[in-house]
Amino acid sequence: MTDGVRVVALDEQGRVALVEDDFYLQGRRMVHLPGGGCEGQAPLDAATRELAEETGLASANLQMLGIIDPLPAITSARTSLVLATDLRHGQVRRDATEVGMTMQWLPLCDAVEAVVTGEISESGSVAGLLLAERRLGQRRR
């Protein structure tokens, strides 16, 4: 496994961009944050690429939220979590493995609730959403 990235892309209305795709090993569709492998790129560069590929979005403001070790007993691969704001729309460029992927917008508070209920369970998405909520909550204080 290689290092990866998950992107919490927030628009000016406080909504987060989520994608839904089929996962073979789980045998079901899963809602998660845009992201994927770093493919030798720095995390912020990979976040820019993955966000554009899966959602067609570009961000004028990328910030690291943190790094997790999702499976430390199995792999040394790490996942960087990135907050993307100041978004603008472009063209989606999904690859052949992402042909069935869809995108949706959800208020951040609803996405965090989806973590609590187990609707969103992918580790990078869980951590990214919770860290984004915490970061943004600290700004409002």
pLDDT tens sequence across 20-44: 988 777 777 889 999 999 999 999 9
The overall average pLDDT reported for the chain is: 91
Segment 60-70 shows an average pLDDT of 96
* Count, residues in the chain: 141
Q: pTM score, two decimals?
A: 0.91
One-character DSSP codes across 69-116? -S-TTT----EEEEEEEEEEE------GGGTT-EEEEEEHHHHHHHHH
Cβ atoms of 58 and 69 within 8 Å: the answer is no
pLDDT tens sequence across 105-115: 999 999 999 99
pLDDT tens sequence across 3-22: 999 999 999 999 999 999 88
Alpha-carbon distance of 138 to 141, in angstroms, equals 5
The pLDDT value recorded for residue 141 is 43
Q: Catalytic residues, which ones?
A: 98
The pLDDT value recorded for residue 139 is 56
Q: Domains of the chain by range and CATH?
A: 4-140 (3.90.79.10)
Alpha-carbon distance of 127 to 139, in angstroms, equals 18
Q: Quick count: other Cβ atoms within 10 Å of Cβ 88?
A: 9
Q: Is the pLDDT confidence value at 130 over 70?
A: yes
Q: Do the bridges between strand 4-9 and strand 79-89 make them parallel or antiparallel, or are there none, so unpaired?
A: parallel
